[in-house]
Structure 1
Amino acid sequence: MITTQSLKERWTIFKEQNPKARIRDAAKELGVSEADLLATQVGETVQRLEGDFREILKDIPTLGYVMALTRNDTIVHERKGVYEKVSFNDHVGLVLGPDIDLRLFMSHWHFGFAVDENGRKSLQFFDLDGSAVHKIYLTDKSDETAYEALIQKYYAVEQIPLIVTVPYPDKEDSVSNEEVDDQAFKKEWLAMQDTHEFFGLLRKYKLDREQGLRMAPEGHAQLISVDQLKRIFETAAEREVPIMVFASSAGCIQIHTGPIKKLVSMGPWYNILDPEFNMHLREDQIHSIWVTRKPTKDGIVTGLDLFDKQGNSIALIFGKRKPGIPEMKEWQQVVYEAITA
């Protein structure tokens, strides 16, 4: 068993040897979770929070203009703005502002911390296994007085530099293709009236997401390359076609809707570096990219599904759209040109 003191010492040495390493990468190298590492700093640069995290989120609008960050191993999604219209139906929540747009799954919110990284202040939330689900960073436009008041309101009685994380069991295997009624699945795909019906379709046939795409009707799912994905981003930026970028952790889906402008490659990372929205995508960790076409009552919806080597969803990308409004022809053209060039 790793004691808090020995882990703290190991992390100190690691930071000295790798001064630019992110805490998520340090945790992997040290064989622990990000939350485990962060907890070693409780009483110094970190304060533990307690209480109903739904109530904390309802108080986030008092902070004003902040930066919301949600990530998985392959993509980092950062969006600046104000938390608005925060609501919950039991353990499922919504944040529905024009800038900060989130879907929250509170059964995955187990640990909360207030963090001060050399003056960069944030609220950080973690799953039971210690993986980050969502982080909220103050900006120079944020209300620091409200931030301090929020910490005091939810300040944990016991500020102990140790947490107990529990790994989740491995995902259950999906059924083999031979066990699926292929024709019935295709028929139900073609009968969809809303893109959200796809989740129910996968559950019904006990398929994982990529498996479902492999079994799609002819012409409704197509593999493309990373270069074609980048061409889609570049053309959308050039033509000012607004897009939607969904990135998720286990406890949060974060969505950017709007145009993109500045695209930059830095080593393995492909980046969108705009004033209000940043995306950092590890090209070398993308295993497959699918262009999907799903029928709805408003017509075909064209999307991009990105997966890693383990079959985990990295991100979803669409043209900007709302229910009741047909998909933009400009977006369909951007995708068509990129995959046929």
Structure 2
Amino acid sequence: MSATSHHQQYDPQHDPQQLRTDFLNAKREKKLRNRDAAAAIGVSEGEAIAACVGAEAIRLRPQFIELLEEVPLLGPVMALTRNDSAVHEKDGVYEKMSHNGQVGLALGEAIDLRIFYKQWRFACAVIEKVARGAEKTWQKSLQFYDLHGEAVHKVFLREHSNHDAFDALVARWSDPEQLPGMAVEPVPPAAIDKPDAEIDGDGFRAAWKGMTDTHQFFGLLRDFGLSRTQALRLAPPQFVRQVDNSATRAILEQAAAGALPIMVFVGNRGMIQIHSGAVSNVKVMGPWLNILDPGFNLHLREDLIVSSWVVSKPTSDGEVTSLELFDHEGNTIAMLFGVRKPGQPELAAWRSAALSLPLAASMAEAHA
């Protein structure tokens, strides 16, 4: 459940000072991260951070495209994108940035982003003391939130980042009105799928078989009025397999053992962040499935995966296979692919690994 759907104890617009006090107390007393401390007092993270404007946070002008396209000046940093179930952290330099209308790209060697600026509502710089082992140190970041107060993207400085460039960027983009507070809208309820009988299933399956690029899938969902999970249920059966929810752990362990380069996509309404390359250090800690590699960390809540699907989509380069994970509302948690360049077929080892994953119990019974 998103924090914005909780009953709020006060109107943060009218009482940002009290919100900030409660937020900082929750962080300190319960030793919580910002997102969890905000949820603990019944607000979104964006509202909590916006209440700190004038203290720990500096409000930036909402010229999101121009602002983000200056981030390359900061040199090597850490990019963080998350949703309710997964956190994707990638070290590197923002490079090859562009936009077309409200959709942007960063196509750097390490930092690879698909950016949906239409969803962005609030930007700030945050400068706060954080614990690093026994010591406390200053942490600097740029943080971006959507109209529900949920974080779409964060940029954290490392020791070797260009701190002078950060200070100059913040000074340049600082909002003249440093007023605390942020108005948010409640997260709308999850859309309800149309009854299967109202879907042109035959037309949809024919269109699926006719795809020549994986990006055409979004158009199919729109044209046939389908959610992603409903599309997978109604897809031509030779192209989809529902697999056991242990599949992510299994395929990451296979990829690590075999030095198999993979792509890991994690996104939200306003951002998709992509890792491409090998993974090596796969660790399970409680409900969290983690990749803890130099330059790339993934933290994924296995217990929040409600369905997992191996999906094949036709392209002009042959079929492309993905492992797609969904939560209880049908939201995408993460997607995994084999590393592939346009014009090349996908890695045979990736396809073989994906197709060897154990079926979900319901599918296994159906095939028994």
Which range, TM-score by smaller chain? Answer: over 0.9
Distance in 2, Cα, partners of 1:196 & 1:56: 27
Structure 1 residues 169-178 or 274-283, which shifts more?
169-178
CA distance in 2, matches of 1:189, 1:336: 19
CA distance in 1, matches of 2:185, 2:356: 47
Find 1:275's aligned residue among 294, 298, 304: 294
Question: Is 1:304–2:323 an aligned residue pair?
Answer: yes
Which residue matches 2:16? Answer: 4
Distance 1:56 1:5 in 2: 28
**What residue ranges of structure 1 are gaps of 5+ in the alignment?**
none
1:54 to 60, 65, 81: 65
- Quick check: 1:315 aligned with 2:334? yes
CA–CA distance in 2 between the matches of 1:213 and 1:282?
A: 22
Counterpart for residue 125 of structure 1: 144
TM-score normalised per structure 1:
0.96
1:168 CA displacement: 4.4
Query: In 2, Cα distance between the equivalents of 1:259 and 1:151?
Result: 35
Cα separation, 2, equivalents of 1:231 and 1:169: 34
**Which region of structure 1 is more displaced relative to structure 2, 165-174 or 132-141?**
165-174
Residue number among 4, 11, 15 corresponding to 2:27 in the alignment: 15
Question: Shift in Å at residue 51 of structure 1?
Answer: 4.4
Please state how far the C-alpha of 1:171 moved relative to its aligned partner.
4.7
Task: Tell me how many residue pairs correspond in the alignment.
Answer: 340
Q: What SS does the corresponding residue of 2:54 show, helix, strand or coil?
A: coil
What do residues 170-227 of structure 1 show as CA deviations (whole Å, max 9, x unaligned)? 3543321111122221111111111111111111110000100001112211111232
| Aligned match for 1:254, one of 268, 273, 289 | 273
Q: Residue 6 of structure 2 aligns with which residue? A: none
Alignment partners' CA distance in 1, 2:159 and 2:353: 37
State the match for 1:152 in structure 2: 171
SS of aligned partner of 2:314: strand
Write the letter of the residue equivalent to 1:154: W
Distance verdict in 2 for CA 1:256–1:154, change over 3 Å: same
Residue of structure 2 aligned with 1:211, choices 219, 230, 251: 230
Q: Which residue of 306, 331, 336 maps to 1:287? A: 306
Please tell me the root mean square deviation across aligned C-alpha atoms, in Å: 1.5
Q: Report sequence identity in percent.
A: 47
Q: Match for 1:24 among 17, 32, 35?
A: 35
2:364 alignment partner in structure 1: none
Residues 282-316 of structure 1: CA deviation (Å, up to 9, x unaligned): 01111111000111111111101110001111111
TM-score, normalization by structure 2: 0.89
SS of 1:170 mapped into structure 2: coil
Secondary structure at the aligned position of 2:246 is classed as helix
The answer as to 2:216 corresponding to 1:197 is yes
SS in 2 for 1:104: strand
CA distances 1:116-168 after superposition (whole Å, capped 9, x unpaired): 12111100001111110100000122000000000000011111121212224
Letter in 1 for 2:22: R
Of 103, 108, 112 in structure 2, the residue corresponding to residue 101 of structure 1 is 112
Moved more, 329-338 or 102-111: 329-338
Work out the CA distance in 2 between the residues paired with 1:254 and 1:322. Answer: 17
Aligned residue in 1 for 2:188: 169
Secondary structure at the residue paired with 1:107?
helix
Asked whether 1:74 is paired with 2:85, we answer: yes
1:315-334 deviations in Å (ceiling 9; x for gaps):
11100012211011011122
CA contact (8 A) 1:27 1:33 kept: yes
Runs of 4 or more off by more than 4 Å in structure 1? none
